[in-house]
């Protein structure tokens, strides 16, 4: 369903730039003033594996111009070992960014929390701190509008996707599991939200990643009720994107496509993802076809 445009990565590490010479991947995206703004995760050295966020901007959603310096990097104690995997939600005049804040070294399997920041221009950011301090957590996405007067979030406590609600975007309550791994399927081990949910006539469309026993990461879709996003309407058995190209099947972590951002352009979805935890790719599919596919689940 999704076709890579182009077949090659659209962002690769820049060897001459110290903070991103090893890897650039897992970008969040949003449309701002008619252009696509991308916050991408970057790693400069493997010995001290710390992620920062770079900024790239595009007129067409395919060709991006990068800024020379990172726009968001570890500053507070709760993120001192990295700022990872940003997701961007336009909401009430600002852009809210959820990201994984590492308070312990990467790959230690601990110290992963959900950080929240916001911006109006992608150059200056306000930090709102750790918003789910009671959980070791990742893959948090905020809905682009309130539902019945409340802010809504999907987040991931391994191995499931949960929902939560808030009055102020900082304090969250009502945590409940809404989606689980499926034994024997491509998403049998763990799942997590990809980009923030997209509102469609058929429901909230969620792109999510799933992991199987071979540790392959693929992307799938699900639909949730517009007025009651705890209610899962449909979830196809098939995935919509899997590692196929060499740069997706190899890399720092092999066999990975991991999307954190999506935009709609000219009737298509542009889905932005990390390939092999090393580079950035983009894939395109008609919005109508994706929604119809999601309904069949």
What CATH number does the domain containing 283 carry?
2.115.10.20
Q: What is the pLDDT of residues 47-81, one digit of tens each?
A: 999 999 999 999 999 999 999 999 999 999 999 99
Query: Averaged over 7-24, what is the pLDDT?
Result: 97
Complete DSSP assignment for 67-130:
-SS-SB---SGGGTT-EEEEEEEEETTEEEEEEEEESS-TTSS--EEEEEEEESSSSS-EEEEE
pLDDT of residue 123: 95
Q: Are the CB atoms for 277 and 259 separated by under 8 Å?
A: no
Q: Is residue 292's pLDDT more than 90?
A: yes
122 pLDDT above the threshold of 90 = yes
Three-state DSSP class for 173?
strand
For tokens 């789910």, what's the residue? Answer: 132
Is residue 115 within 8 A of residue 130, CB to CB? The reply is: yes
Q: Assess if residue 105 is contained within a domain.
A: yes
Give the residue-averaged pLDDT of 268-282. Answer: 98
Evaluate if residue 297 carries a pLDDT over 90: no
Domain membership flag for residue 2: no
5 falls within a domain: no
Decide if 37 is inside a domain.
yes
Q: Which two tokens stand for residue 93?
A: 């005049």
pLDDT value at 197 more than 80: yes
In whole angstroms, what is the distance from residue 162 CA to residue 62 CA?
32
Q: Would you call 293 helix, strand, or coil by DSSP?
A: helix
pLDDT at site 1: 84
> What span, in angstroms and rounded, lies between the C-alpha atoms of 191 and 186?
10
Q: Quick: pLDDT tens for 142-174.
A: 999 999 999 999 999 999 999 999 999 999 999
Instruction: Give the predicted TM-score (pTM) of the model.
Output: 0.98
Instruction: In whole angstroms, give the CA distance from residue 112 to residue 64.
Output: 30
- Mean pLDDT, rounded, for 205-228: 98
What residue numbers bound the domain in which 191 lies? 10-295
For residue 102, the tally of other CB atoms under 10 A from its CB is 25
Residue 4 maps to a domain: no
| Count of structural domains, the chain | 1
Closest to 151 (Cα-Cα) out of 171, 179, 122: 171
Average pLDDT for the chain: 97
Residue from 18, 22, 39 nearest 30 by CA: 39
- The pLDDT assigned to 136 comes to 93
């Amino acid at each position: 369903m999704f076709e890579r445009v182009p077949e090659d990565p659209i962002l690769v590490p820049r060897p001459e730039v110290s903070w991103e010479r090893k890897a650039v991947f897992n970008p969040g995206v949003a449309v701002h003033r008619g252009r696509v703004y991308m916050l991408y995760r970057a790693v400069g050295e493997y010995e001290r594996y710390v992620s920062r966020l770079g900024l790239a901007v595009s007129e067409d959603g395919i060709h991006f111009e990068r800024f020379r310096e990172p726009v968001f990097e570890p500053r507070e104690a709760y993120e001192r070992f990295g700022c990872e995997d940003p997701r961007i939600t336009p909401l009430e005049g600002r852009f809210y960014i959820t990201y994984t804040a590492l308070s312990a070294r990467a790959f230690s399997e601990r110290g992963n929390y959900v950080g929240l920041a916001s911006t109006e221009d992608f150059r200056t950011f306000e930090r709102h701190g750790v918003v789910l301090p009671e959980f070791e957590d990742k893959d948090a996405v905020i809905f682009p509008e309130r539902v019945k007067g409340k802010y809504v979030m999907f987040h991931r406590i391994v191995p499931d996707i949960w929902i939560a609600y808030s009055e102020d975007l900082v304090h969250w309550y009502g945590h409940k599991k809404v989606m689980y791994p499926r034994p024997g399927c491509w998403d049998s081990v763990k799942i997590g939200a990809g980009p923030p949910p997209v509102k469609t006539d058929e429901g909230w469309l969620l792109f999510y990643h799933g992991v199987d026993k071979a540790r392959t990461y693929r992307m799938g879709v699900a639909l949730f009720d517009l007025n009651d996003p705890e209610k899962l309407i449909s979830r196809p058995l098939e995935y919509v994107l899997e590692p196929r190209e060499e740069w997706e099947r190899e890399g720092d972590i092999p066999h990975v496509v991991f999307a954190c951002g999506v935009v709609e352009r000219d009737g298509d979805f542009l889905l932005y993802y990390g390939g092999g935890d090393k580079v950035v790719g983009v894939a395109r599919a008609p919005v109508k076809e994706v929604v119809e596919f999601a309904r069949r689940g």
